[in-house]
A and B are shown apart, each in its own frame.
Chain A
Amino acid sequence: NAGVTQTPKFRVLKTGQSMTLLCAQDMNHEYMYWYRQDPGMGLRLIHYSVGEGTTAKGEVPDGYNVSRLKKQNFLLGLESAAPSQTSVYFCASRPGQGESQPQHFGDGTRLSIL
């Protein structure tokens, strides 16, 4: 049982390049989330999804797009990367039911924009 898997683990981009981060979960979870983590600021929610085919904006959505075409996958896209998007990106998922169920996190993607 792999849990939440993020690919790639590391990436260096040039300003203006585009890329897609992939999150896959094998726990049949309904809810999926994308966060960024920057020093001194904690985890901030970028976008989230409450089920296949749905997406919603979080706290810091500008410059990012997402898609949830399949229940197990949640993709985060950067159309035109900027140095301000240098960060560690975490994906998380949780079941649709169960009040006490926590979010489960992937190992993160370390992204540097030059």
Chain B
Amino acid sequence: GQNIDQPTEMTATEGAIVQINCTYQTSGFNGLFWYQQHAGEAPTFLSYNVLDGLEEKGRFSSFLSRSKGYSYLLLKELQMKDSASYLCAVRDKDYKLSFGAGTTVTVRA
């Protein structure tokens, strides 16, 4: 199984940068995903990492270190619309995802 940990809440100011950490213990690692979920809505895909290193997508970047069981999601130039829950999910060899409990990010003006 998977054990996935991420902080419960983070608060940041509009225009700032926030880094959301995710640590995992896994049997059969086959990729790590980050999803964004606004309150009352469906999760939407943000990023995917399977090899070590940084993946950049506009204002969002995601990093993976497989040897450390560690990933982070970096949100730059924060906007009010970035206030949401961010879910870290680890995929196993059977293509099943195990999710962390999510990190609620609040962006203040």
CB distance from A97 to the nearest CB of B (A): 11
The answer to whether the Cβ of B48 comes within 8 Å of any Cβ in the partner chain is yes
Q: How close is B98's CB to chain A, nearest CB, in angstroms?
A: 8
Given A44-B99, A103-B45, 18 additional A-B pairs, CB 8 A: A31-B95, A40-B101, A42-B100, A43-B43, A43-B87, A43-B99, A45-B97, A45-B98, A50-B95, A59-B1, A59-B98, A94-B95, A99-B31, A100-B48, A100-B50, A102-B35, A105-B44, A107-B41
Give the number of A-B contacts (CB < 8 Å): 51
Kindly supply a per-residue 1/0 record for chain B positions 6-36, scoring 1 wherever the CB is within 8 Å of any chain A CB and 0 otherwise. Answer: 0010000000000000000000000101010
Interface size class on chain B is: 20 to 34
Whether A42 lies near B42 (C-beta < 8 A) is no
Chain A residues lying within 8 Å of B100, measured Cβ to Cβ, are 42
**Would B43 and A105 count as touching, CB distance under 8 A?**
yes
